[in-house]
Amino acid sequence: MQRAQNIHAGQDDLDVVSKLIANARQAMTQLLTADQDRVDEAVTALCWAIYKPENARETAELAVAGTGLGNVEDKIIKNQRKNFGTLRDLLRVKTVGIIETFPEKGLVKYAKPVGVVGAVVPSTNPCATPVNKAMMAIKGRNAVIIAPSPAGLQATGRTVELMRNELEKIGLPANLVQILPAPISKNLTNTLMQECDLVVVTGSQNNVRNAYKSGTPAIGVGAGNVPVVIDASADLNDAAKKIMASKCFDNATSCSSENSVTIQDSVYEEAIDALTRAGGYMCTSEDKKKILDNLWVDGHLNRHVLAKDPDVFADVCGLPVAAKQAKFFMVEDTGAGSEKPLSGEKLSLALTVYRVPDIEAAISQVQDILNYQGMGHSVGIHTKTIKNAELLAERLDVVRVLVNQAHTFGNGGSFDNGLGFTLTMGCGTWAGNSISENLAYHHFINVTHLVETIPEDKPSEEELFGTYWGKYGK
């Protein structure tokens, strides 16, 4: 699809982006006639580019060194697990030629590319996310141009280089995957958004909003701020272990990381004990003040604390020696909103703890949290009473409700739940997003419908209006 020239972009930025898009369109021509096996081969090549152990480690090390966020071992797991799961999902579906037939409706569906995809990726996942999006884009026989974060440029650049090398190894154009050149700027990223055929944004809400303003079809994500509930019926040790593993993974960089836990009063003390045994440190009122003073600086999250190891967090916040041995930090609080900053997303190992009398109060507390931040994203509950989980699903405006799961590992797809693997979670119109599901292959294809006639399917007026007439008259 040729787009009108963007007169608002700087000419230098427009020249750079136009050249990348021209390269992408030329590269796409080799996929347009490819069969499904060849497309799947390309997708597998992209996954192997980061799954290969030495590549997974190299890019993880570059990510932590460049951004200062998270830790290497967990980023290795993220690089491999998420993309391995995505490869599983992608190899099970068709995106070439006829993808569905409905003889009884006289319909046949054909998959077509969407074009050049602009993929904006965050500093929290500068390696796993570009591969994940590239795999989905190439599955639809598209080309992709990656817009990295400035801090993640080196790591993302190396990741793109590895993907390009792997494509060339199997005889496909490297320009199926490209990256914006340095220096990365908002204007350059915005120009890509305006000139590509589809833009997919993960990370900064400013970038998400700019994507939707760009005039290009766009998919963006909402802000994370996951609240989880522990009810009176929960297996407390299991819940504590899962919350710890999820909260601590990659030092809480994930948008799916638990930011708060709301605990029912009758099991509160036992739950806190279980969380403490799992590695949590319960902060005193003095500790809480220190965290509030140091986690935010001039109203913004402190980069010296964000996604840092627990000993660094404890040291920067001035917590006692005992806290430095902990894996995460529990801070008791009440309420939610702008006057209660601990109710928001913290991108750190601080976990806000609420105490409530019953499940109704838990739902109310979680709703207050979401009203402040994270609406549409997800919640979790640890319970043996499925009805309580159903209450959350019925009454909260979120896309995902996870039951008895480590939220970070389950929210973007897992081998033991039915969600598709992804690093991009749509949050519906509740968060100003165009999708209310996990990003997947079908978001990267257009569909042509072949339509034939079928025996007439026209009900009588009585069938459609009869009940209404009987109740209200004609």
Q: Dihedrals φ, ψ of 425, to 5°?
A: -105, 110
Q: For residues 62 and 130, give the distance between their C-alpha atoms in angstroms, rounded to a whole number.
A: 14
Would residue 380 be called left, alpha or beta, if left means φ above 0 and alpha means ψ between -120 and 50 degrees?
beta
Q: Dihedrals φ, ψ of 5, to 5°?
A: -65, 140
Q: Dihedrals φ, ψ of 460, to 5°?
A: -80, 165
Q: For residues 304 and 82, give the distance between their C-alpha atoms in angstroms, rounded to a whole number.
A: 28
Strands 376-382, 398-403: pairing kind = parallel
Q: Give residues with Cβ within 8 angstroms of 329, minimum separation 6.
A: 280, 281, 283, 287, 291, 310, 313, 314, 319, 323, 349, 350, 351
Q: For residues 429 and 376, give the distance between their C-alpha atoms in angstroms, rounded to a whole number.
A: 8
**Tokens representing 240?**
């504590």
**Tokens representing 303?**
């980069």
Tell me the three state secondary structure of residue 282.
strand
Q: How many CB atoms lie within 10 A of CB 126?
A: 32
Angle at 412 (CA atoms; ends 50, 115), nearest 5 degrees: 65
**Tokens representing 351?**
């976990």
Are the CB atoms for 439 and 219 separated by under 8 Å?
Answer: yes
248 labelled catalytic: no
Would residue 99 be called left, alpha or beta, if left means φ above 0 and alpha means ψ between -120 and 50 degrees?
alpha
* Closest among 48, 27, 218, 34 to 139, alpha carbons compared: 34
- DSSP for residue 420: P
Are the CB atoms for 285 and 366 separated by under 8 Å?
Answer: no
In the set 47, 196, 248, 255, the catalytic residue is 255
Residues labelled catalytic: 255
